[in-house]
Amino acid sequence: MVSYEWCPAPPENVPVSIKCDSSFNNFRESLLELLIHTFIYRPLIFIPPLCPIFTPILAYPSIIWKFIMVLQNHLKAAKSMTQIFMSLNRMTCALWPIEYNTIWTKNRLKLVVFLIIVMPVGTTFNLILSRITIQPIYGGFTNNYIKTISWAILPFQHFILILIALFFTIICTSIAIYALLMLPNRVKDAERALCIAAIVFSIGFICAAIAQAMMVFCSNGLFGACYGDLLFMVHFWCIDFLDLIQPIVTLFLSKELRRQIFGTKAVVFQIGTS
């Protein structure tokens, strides 16, 4: 998220400094999901010698295997929800910089964090109730599940969430950029950062939406026969792009986040006069 300060000159000519909260970002969710794919899913798929080692453990109902699948899908849903709240947070910071701290109070931030943690259960509840199985692919295997509730289609739920996140990203960021353009003293660095973030995140969510749509339509036979291995590869590429690009762009654009992680000095944008 973009971090900048608003320093207008009030009637008393006393500068007021308002800092946008940089804690709203997908860095943690994307990084953790990326680690799960890198060190668990990909080796099991593309390193066949691991099959005889892990198949006896994971071929039968396994709490560990279910936990990994539930966690990965929970993170994917939480990532979309974080993007929604992050877009709203960025928009309110640009529209109402003086009232920003009163809008995003600590209690409300705690409520938002609670919603981001709890609401993804609405997409993973069927996984929790269902039996997790293994599915052979590319000489290895990945996990799958036998639906307990037939109407709760996991790819479709992720598809809807991703579309909602994409909608909020485009609309809220467009409003935020317009608000910055209307300022007497424009902040070109902030405008450029918002534009870059909006474009890259939108491309990432579009790719993810395409991948989820393929999973939904192909798994239900709406497009006829689909190539299973190719479908999984395209799905992996799209999801990997979103998982990689979000933390990289967030870290690159947010000086505050870099300061928190690497201990570097944060540089803020100042708007107006002091």
Say which CATH number the domain at 167 has.
1.20.1070.10
How many structural domains does the chain have? 1
- pLDDT value, residue 118: 94
Domain assignment of residue 84, yes or no: yes
- pLDDT value, residue 152: 82
Domain assignment of residue 188, yes or no: yes
- Please give the DSSP secondary-structure letter assigned to residue 50: G
What is the C-alpha separation between 91 and 168, in angstroms, rounded?
10
User: Each residue of 166-203: b (16+ CB within 10 Å) or e?
Assistant: bebbbebbebbbebbeebeeebeebbebbeebbebbee
Q: Which residues pair with 18 in a beta bridge?
A: 6
**Over residues 110-133, mean pLDDT:** 91
Q: If pLDDT is split at 50, 70 and 90, which confidence band does 252 have?
A: confident
Domain assignment of residue 272, yes or no: no
Look at 214 and 12; give whichever has higher pLDDT: 214
Domain assignment of residue 68, yes or no: yes
CA-angle at 96, arms to 179 and 186, nearest 5° = 35
- pLDDT value, residue 24: 58
**Over residues 26-53, mean pLDDT:** 82
Domain assignment of residue 161, yes or no: yes
Say whether pLDDT at 113 is over 80: yes
What is the C-alpha separation between 215 and 237, in angstroms, rounded?
13
Domain assignment of residue 267, yes or no: no
Least confident of 107-111, 147-151, 256-260: 256-260
For 231, the domain range is: 5-262
What is the C-alpha separation between 247 and 245, in angstroms, rounded?
6
Domain assignment of residue 273, yes or no: no
Which residue, among 98, 147, 94, has the nearest Cα to 125 in the 3D structure?
147
- pLDDT value, residue 262: 64
Say whether pLDDT at 44 is over 70: yes
Please report, rounded to a whole number, the percentage of residues in the chain having pLDDT higher than 90: 11
**Over residues 181-190, mean pLDDT:** 68
Q: If pLDDT is split at 50, 70 and 90, which confidence band does 216 have?
A: confident
Cβ 259 vs Cβ 24: under 8 Å: no
State the DSSP H helix or E strand holding residue 136, giving kind and residue range, or none if neither: strand 131-137
Q: If pLDDT is split at 50, 70 and 90, which confidence band does 10 have?
A: very low
Could you tell me the CA-to-CA distances from 196 to 96, 239, 262 in Å, in that order? 22, 20, 22
Domain assignment of residue 268, yes or no: no
- pLDDT value, residue 22: 56
